[in-house]
Amino acid sequence: MPEDNIVSKGEMYATHKVCVDCGNYKRAGEFSRYSRSKDGLYSYCKDCRKERRRKYDATPEAKRKARERAVLRRYGLNPYEYRKLLSRSDGRCEICREALPEDTKFIHVDHDHVSGAIRGILCRGCNSGIGHFRENSAYLYAAIDYLRKHRILHE
């Protein structure tokens, strides 16, 4: 291992570096740039960072945080507002009142597609149903009348 290629603290952009995870001596190009570190590179090589990220992304905490970021990006709801909406629905779909699933990817934030206003929390089936009826209450009432006419509706 050529010691003259190792960068001392304070120097930027080493030519080679040791990964703190795998312990391998690697070219600087095998590390992502990181302006906050003294040498301008991450401590973990790209392969180790990728593996660490893959393992972290599989954890429940990571999945929850990813869902919260998606809800914030898509609907403008911060994590507090999202949890408040879930709490308001008592953990149940606001239409069928079935318990919402543990997996948050099957919990839907219902919103008006014209105004963007948040209406509530729905299960996947009810959210899809509203979508299939194009958010048109006249179509929903017509569907109820149709079911009653054919005595399919079970109340």
Range of the domain at 36: 3-57
- Which residues, in sequence order, are CB contacts of 95 under 8 Å at separation 6+? 122, 123, 126, 129, 130
Record the pTM. 0.64
Please check whether residues 52 and 70 belong to one and the same domain: no
129-135 long-range contacts (CB < 8 A, ≥24 apart) are 129/95, 130/95
Q: Are residues 38 and 65 in the same domain?
A: no
In a domain, 23, yes or no: yes
Which run of H or E residues covers position 55?
helix 46-57
Do 77 and 8 belong together in one domain? no
* Claim to verify: residue 95 and residue 139 sit in the same structural domain: yes
pLDDT per residue as tens, the chain (155 positions): 455 555 444 445 568 999 999 999 999 999 999 999 988 999 999 999 999 999 999 998 998 898 899 999 999 999 999 989 999 999 999 999 999 988 777 899 999 988 989 999 999 999 999 999 999 999 999 999 998 888 765 65
How many structural domains comprise the chain? 2
The CATH number of whichever domain residue 36 belongs to comes to 3.30.60
Residue 65 and residue 12 share a domain:
no
CA atoms within 13 A on the CB side of 86: 18
